[in-house]
C-alpha cells in the first residue's frame, strides 16, 4: 500500500476525531477530510477497529516526533515543560484531542489501551530522565507526581475554560510549571536556576 496515502488518511482521521469526536469517526468522514474518493479509507482500513488502531499508532508516532531538547538545569526544565503545555493549544491540539477520544474508546477496547499506553509509559520515563538531567533530586515518586500533574493539565488546557484555567494556574503556564517544580522540589537554592 502507498505509505504516503496511508499517512495522509491517518492524519485526516486525527482531524476528524479532534473535530467530531469518536462518533464522528467514520470511513466517509475521513475520505472527505483527506479529499480522497469515497471508499479509499475503507480500502486501507476495512473496519472501524482497524481505523482506530491506525489512528492510535499515528498518534504515538507523532508524539515521538515532538522535539524535547534535554534540560541542563531547573530553568531549562521549566522552559521544556512550558513548551510542551503550550503545544496543547498549538500544533499538538488535534493530536491530543484525538488521544483523548481514543482513551475513551480504550475503556471498552483494551487492545487500544495497550497502544496508547506506550505514550504514557514513555512520558513517565522521559520526564524522570528530564528531571535527572536538570540536576534535581528526582525519585520515581517525584517523577510520577510531575507527570501526573502534567497529564491532568492537558484536559483543562484542551477544554480551555477560562475560570478553570485561572483556578488551576494554567492561565499562566510559566508560573504553573515553576510552582509545580517548587511544590515537588522546594524553592531553588540561591544561585540555582
Q: What is the pLDDT of residue 50?
A: 97
Q: Give pLDDT tens digits for 68-120.
A: 788 999 999 999 999 999 988 888 899 999 999 999 999 999 999 999 998 88
- Mean pLDDT across the chain: 93
Is residue 25 scored above 70 in pLDDT? yes
Is residue 193 scored above 60 in pLDDT? no
pTM of the full structure: 0.85
Q: Is 35 left (phi over 0), alpha (psi -120 to 50) or beta?
A: left
Amino acid at each position: 500500500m502507498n505509505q504516503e496515502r496511508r499517512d495522509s488518511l491517518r492524519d485526516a482521521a486525527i482531524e476528524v476525531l479532534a473535530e467530531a469526536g469518536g462518533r464522528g469517526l467514520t470511513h466517509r468522514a475521513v475520505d472527505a477530510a483527506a479529499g480522497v474518493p469515497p471508499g479509499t479509507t475503507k480500502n486501507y482500513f476495512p473496519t472501524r477497529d482497524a481505523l482506530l488502531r491506525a489512528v492510535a499508532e499515528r498518534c504515538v508516532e507523532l508524539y515521538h516526533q515532538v522535539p524535547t531538547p534535554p534540560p541542563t538545569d531547573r530553568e531549562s526544565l521549566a522552559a521544556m515543560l512550558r513548551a510542551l503545555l503550550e503545544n496543547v493549544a498549538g500544533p499538538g491540539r488535534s493530536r491530543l484531542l484525538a488521544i483523548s477520544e481514543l482513551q475513551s474508546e480504550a475503556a471498552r477496547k483494551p487492545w487500544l489501551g495497550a497502544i496508547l499506553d506506550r505514550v504514557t509509559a514513555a512520558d513517565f520515563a522521559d520526564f524522570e530522565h528530564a528531571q535527572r538531567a536538570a540536576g534535581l533530586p528526582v525519585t520515581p515518586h517525584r517523577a510520577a507526581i510531575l507527570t501526573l500533574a502534567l497529564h491532568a493539565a492537558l484536559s483543562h488546557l484542551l477544554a480551555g475554560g477560562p475560570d478553570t484555567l485561572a483556578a488551576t494556574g494554567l492561565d499562566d503556564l510559566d508560573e504553573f510549571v515553576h510552582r509545580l517544580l517548587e511544590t515537588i522540589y522546594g524553592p531553588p537554592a540561591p544561585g540555582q536556576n
